[in-house]
Amino acid sequence: METISLSPNKDLLAAFVERYRSALAPSKNPYIQHFFRLPGATVSIYHSGKVVLQGEQASEFAAFFGYKMEKSSPNTEQNLPLMGSDEVGNGSYFGGLAVVASLVTPKEHGWLRELGVGDSKTLTDAKIRQLAPLLKESIPHQALLLTPQKYNEVIASGYNAVSVKVALHNQALYLLLQQGAQPEKIVIDAFTSVGNYQKYLKKEKNQFSNPITLEEKAEGKYLAVAVSSIIARALFLENLEKLGKELGMTLPSGAGSKSDQIAASILKRYGRDMLAHVAKLHFKNTEKAEKIAKGKL
């Protein structure tokens, strides 16, 4: 297990807390001000300002503070025209599901690295909003957004959380290929096994012959996937903000207890139809929110 200790400035600490607020967890250590349980890592922020990151993905979240992991050799697998896709919103109760496929060639690598392109989970929302328009203007891509309302309809029709993502990734890649993209390799940030992906893919209408690779943590290895991750994150944030404005409230990302409380408030004020307009109803948050709204929790 990797352990990284850092002492970032107060602005970065505040930005990190805000970015990952939904992942806050209790800690019995009196010296810890904030404790986070994140995918593949825990992050402890001490009252002194020291930050300790532990876990297999510690270095990925440490990148938020400017930490750069030493690499023994460059990734030569992306030194070719490469299409990569990623999704954002799958773990958030509120907001839609965004999937983006992008085509990056070696000639863009230097420019993308200068911009600071990387895994969207390691970037602040402000940085995401700054980068996304530049990437959308310069990089061939295909973005898809499944709104919460449509997401609920698709789930009700027989899809599940995995098959929905398979359908969206396949469609984004298919449409980008239809636009004339000619990749030598296609990488999807793995969210399921290859066997599972192929099983659900057989049910999709739009097929293509290009082989695909499902690879874990691909957003940190391939610039094409990182670009898709950033554009998808921006699209998700825009949708979350739009839905919040329709309700006159701020909708959180993630699926923590704050989401339960806000969902309960929406149920009491507007009813289940409105909740279906802004949230993914098959999450356990819906059941909790219903109990809170009825005073049973």
Which residues does the annotation place in the binding site for a divalent metal cation? 86-87, 189
- Please give the span between the terminal C-alpha atoms of the chain, in angstroms, as a whole number: 38
Contact 131, 115 (CB under 8 A): yes
**Distance (Å, whole) CA 212 – CA 185:** 7
Point out the annotated binding site.
Answer: 86-87, 189
Q: Is 213 left (phi over 0), alpha (psi -120 to 50) or beta?
A: beta
Q: Where are the alpha helices (DSSP H) in the chain?
A: 10-19, 58-62, 109-115, 125-138, 148-156, 161-178, 194-201, 223-247, 257-270, 272-278, 284-293
Burial class (CB in 10 A: 0-12, 13-18, 19+), 242: middle
Q: Tokens for 182? A: 């000619």
Contact 279, 93 (CB under 8 A): yes
At 143, is the secondary structure helix, strand, or coil?
A: strand
At 71, is the secondary structure helix, strand, or coil?
A: coil
